[in-house]
Amino acid sequence: MRHARGGGLWAGLLVLLALAALAGCGEDEDEPGAAAPQSTSTPAGGVELSIRYDDGDGRRETAILTCRANVQRAGGFLNGKAPVSELCAQARSLSELLTTQPAKGRMCTQIYGGPQTARVTGTIDGEKVDRRFTRTNGCELADFERAAALLQP
C-alpha cells in the first residue's frame, strides 16, 4: 500500500514535468517560415472609433480616431494629445477590452472613483465596439484606467 501511493506521486510529478517541457516547445520566432511580428504603429485593418466623455459635472467632450493603412487621424479631444500612431497602437492593444462587455457576475470592490463616464463606439478590424466605462466600482475603475489614454481629454 505504501509503495503504491509513492508510485502515484512519482507518476504525477513525471506528468507535470512532461507538461512543463511541452509548454516550452513550439516554433521559434526566428525560424524560417515563422510569421514576422506585426508592427502596432501601422494598422493591419481598420480602427474607426468615436469616444464620448462626460466628466459628471456638465462638461462633455467627443473625439474620433481613424486608423487605416492610408489614413491616420485623431479629432476632438484626441487631436494633439499624442502622436496618432501611438493612439492607434493604444486602440489596437485595447481591442479585447473594447470589443467585449464585462462579465456580468464579476466580483468587484465597492470603491467609488467619481462620476466620470465614457462610451466608445465603432469598429476595430471589423469587430463592433460599443463599450461604456464608469468609475463606480473597483472593476470599472481598473477598466477606465486601462483605457484612459483614449477616454479622457
Q: What is the mean pLDDT of residues 5-9?
A: 47
**C-alpha cell, 75:** 479629432
pLDDT digits (tens, 9 = 90+) for 102-152: 888 889 999 999 999 999 999 999 999 999 999 999 999 999 999 999 998
The one-character DSSP state at 42 is: S
Residues sharing a CB contact under 8 Å with residue 98, sequence separation 6 or more, in sequence order: 49, 91, 120, 124, 129, 131, 147
pLDDT for 145 = 95
Tell me the domains of the chain and their CATH numbers: 47-151 (3.30.350)
Task: Indicate whether this model's pTM tops 0.85.
Answer: no
List strand residue ranges (DSSP E) for the chain, in order. 47-54, 60-67, 72-76, 117-124, 127-133
What is the end-to-end Cα distance of the chain in Å, rounded?
A: 69
pLDDT at 3 over 70: no
Q: Which residue has the higher pLDDT, 4 or 26?
A: 4
pLDDT at 5 over 60: no
- Measure the CA angle with vertex 124, ends 119 and 130; round to 5°: 25
pLDDT for 39 = 36
pLDDT at 1 over 60: no
pLDDT digits (tens, 9 = 90+) for 29-76: 333 333 333 333 334 569 999 999 999 999 999 999 999 988 999 999
CA 78 to chain centre: 19
Contact 39, 49 (CB under 8 A): no
Q: What is the dihedral of CA 2, 6, 7, 8, to 10 degrees?
A: 110
Q: What is the mean pLDDT of residues 6-17?
A: 41
Distance, CA of 76 to CA of 3 (rounded, Å): 73
pLDDT for 50 = 97
